[in-house]
Structure 1
Amino acid sequence: MSFFNKFEHKFSKYAIHNLMYYFVVLYAIGFVMSIVNIQIYYEYLALDVPKVLHGQIWRLITWMIYPPSNNILFSALMLWMYFSLGNTLENIWGAFRFNVFMLMGVFFHILAAFILYFGFGLRYAITPDNLNMSILLAFALTFPDMEFFIYFVLRIKAKYLALFYIVIGLYNFIRGNQVTRVTLFLSGLNFIIFFVMTKMWRGITPKRAVQKENKTKIKVPSRTVHKCAVCGRTEKDMPDMEFRYCSKCNGNYEYCAEHLYTHKHIE
């Protein structure tokens, strides 16, 4: 069992379920505020490092109260998309892993603000734009062949849409200033660290070929670590099978990839 799996096994009961609901509520509040007076955000809520250091620690959270757009139609569309993508990822990954992904993103955004201030002497109001974009990239990595309808007309697969945004991000990183480079670098670093740490790229596509060439091995008796609570298969029976704990079951129950999303939750 990897370090992250042990960490998940121990702390999964503390995961916040339906996390995207709270993010969308913050964005909705930000949209209303932008209509009334956007200066309220910058004066009292934005991530201003000197003010945080002088005791206004609520800014470490309230900086996320920022709308994706000032246009009501576009904002509503974006909020619906983020909510749908985030909920889907939570259902597939489990609440704990999705919590870690989002909270790591929040941490790296805050870290970017402090690096810009102490490293470059810049006071910049970090917004959650890159955090929202990371949700789309994570969805594309999880469901690369899922199709989006751009403006309800153009059909494009998630992997190509993600590639398009990655190219734009690289261009902005090369041509941008310190603010752009620091924020993009840390957003990308968060994305890479999470997927390396959780090994989520393995078994992401449902029909991925997992068969390997048979090799002659000396079997040494060892203790079974993973066992599916439904079919009873272990990592000895299926060496290539992935096992995960279900964050929605009451207790520590582990399932194989075939039953992780189809089993009946234990209450």
Structure 2
Amino acid sequence: MLNKLERALGKYAIPNLMRYLIGGYVLGYFLMLGSRITSVNFLTYMTLEPYYIIHKFQIWRIFTWIMIPETPNILFFAIMLLLYYQLGTALENAWGTFRFNAYIIGGMLATLIGAFVLYFIYGAVTGSPVAGVGGYFSMQYINLSIFLAFAVCFPDMEVLLYFIIPIKMKWMAVVYAVMIAISLVGSSWSGRVAIICSLLNFLIFYLSSRNYRRVDPREIHRKQEYKRKAAAGAGPRRDRSGAPIARHKCAVCGRTELTNPELEFRFCSKCNGNYEYCQDHLFTHKHIQ
């Protein structure tokens, strides 16, 4: 489905999307500082409140909630911007501009839908805003989904926690997953809907990137049939010495279907030539032009 969407809408993808998001955060942070000087809380006019969007025609709230900073502390705010800019840029380079756009914008759309669903369930009954709902819906968990997706793609990459402690991304992801579970248990239903909707893009990405072929009955039958034919002498092609000849070979790691039968191999349409890659390097290799 993503391949079809990319062919149809790929030209509209926004390159370097993280730069625009970072710029929005910086603007939101200055508005927050301005609230302290002018005694006018600008952030209250930026939250995602469906009641004000529908009844007061404050359409800008559909977009401005994206700009609300997660923390007022300038040091943690700067570290957050640097971290998510690096992670987001790395994911865009690995996936491509369109797929990264789909991942981020998909999380935003799911968050918007969740906010309006909550309003129509609770607020439409009373005809008034749902108290505190706007505070639940923010970019916090969408940003966290960037971190989690990076940890799934590069689990063994090490980062320096607090610039001192080396730790692998997969262990940090486990810690964040535990924190998310605690937040789900301790939050109200509004908070749970906000968390689930904001992380829905990661859930879809994670489930769609798993290899279910091992439990697919057709795949199990295929492997059994292959072993039966191989035992009967109808296995893969062989050279003069009798050694099997691989049909597929990854241009990056050199693995074949003989050394790793669980892998899938695909040709890259963006490389200049017939270069084949395994499933681990299909989206992360450097294109040959």
Q: Which amino acid aligns with 2:122?
A: F
SS of structure 2 residue aligned to 1:149: strand
Confirm or deny that 1:147 pairs with 2:147: no
Distance 1:245 1:17 in 2: 20
Q: What is the Cα deviation at residue 116 of structure 1?
A: 2.2
**For the Cα contact (< 8 Å) 1:9–1:245, is it kept in 2?**
no
Q: Which amino acid aligns with 2:47?
A: A
Aligned residue number for residue 222 of structure 1: none
**For the Cα contact (< 8 Å) 1:241–1:256, is it kept in 2?**
yes
SS of structure 1 residue aligned to 2:86: helix
Distance 1:140 1:10 in 2: 30
What is the identity percentage for the equivalent residue pairs of Structure 1 and Structure 2?
A: 36
Q: Using a 3 Å threshold, how does the CA distance of structure 1 residues 84 and 245 change in structure 2: closer, same or farther? A: farther
Q: What is the Cα deviation at residue 254 of structure 1?
A: 9.3
Structure 1 unpaired stretches of 5+? 203-211, 220-229, 231-235
Alignment of 1:75-114 (within 5 A): 75-114=77-116
Aligned residue number for residue 66 of structure 2: 64
Aligned match of 1:180 in 191, 201, 210?
Answer: 191
What is the TM-score normalised by the length of structure 2?
A: 0.71
Larger helix proportion, structure 1 or 2?
A: 2
Aligned residue number for residue 35 of structure 2: 37
Q: Using a 3 Å threshold, how does the CA distance of structure 1 residues 134 and 259 change in structure 2: closer, same or farther? A: closer
SS of structure 1 residue aligned to 2:70: coil
Confirm or deny that 1:50 pairs with 2:51: yes
Q: What is the Cα deviation at residue 99 of structure 1?
A: 0.5
Distance 2:275 2:138 in 1: 38
Q: What is the Cα deviation at residue 120 of structure 1?
A: 3.0
Q: How far does the alpha carbon of each residue in 1:141-196 deviate from its partner, in whole angstroms, 9 at most, with x for none?
A: 11011112111112211111111111111111112211221112223333222344
Alignment of 1:236-255 (within 5 A): 240-243=264-267, 246=270
Aligned residue number for residue 206 of structure 1: none
**For the Cα contact (< 8 Å) 2:107–2:199, is it kept in 1?**
no
Aligned match of 1:128 in 133, 139, 145?
Answer: 139
Distance 1:135 1:70 in 2: 21
Aligned match of 2:7 in 3, 6, 9?
Answer: 9
Structure 2 unpaired stretches of 5+? 124-129, 212-222, 236-250, 252-256
Higher relative contact order, chain-length normalized (CA < 8 Å, sep 6+)? 1
Q: CA RMSD for the aligned pairs?
A: 3.3
**For the Cα contact (< 8 Å) 1:85–1:136, is it kept in 2?**
yes
Q: What is the Cα deviation at residue 264 of structure 1?
A: 4.3
Q: Using a 3 Å threshold, how does the CA distance of structure 1 residues 244 and 182 change in structure 2: closer, same or farther? A: farther
Q: How far does the alpha carbon of each residue in 1:89-137 deviate from its partner, in whole angstroms, 9 at most, with x for none?
A: 0000111110000011101111221122222332411211111111100
Q: What is the Cα deviation at residue 10 of structure 1?
A: 2.8
Distance 1:255 1:8 in 2: 21
Q: Using a 3 Å threshold, how does the CA distance of structure 1 residues 243 and 182 change in structure 2: closer, same or farther? A: farther
Distance 1:259 1:41 in 2: 43
SS of structure 2 residue aligned to 1:155: strand
**For the Cα contact (< 8 Å) 2:16–2:89, is it kept in 1?**
yes
SS of structure 1 residue aligned to 2:167: strand
What is the TM-score normalised by the length of structure 1?
A: 0.76
Q: Which amino acid aligns with 2:53?
A: V
SS of structure 1 residue aligned to 2:287: coil
Aligned residue-pair number:
236
Q: Which amino acid aligns with 1:118?
A: F
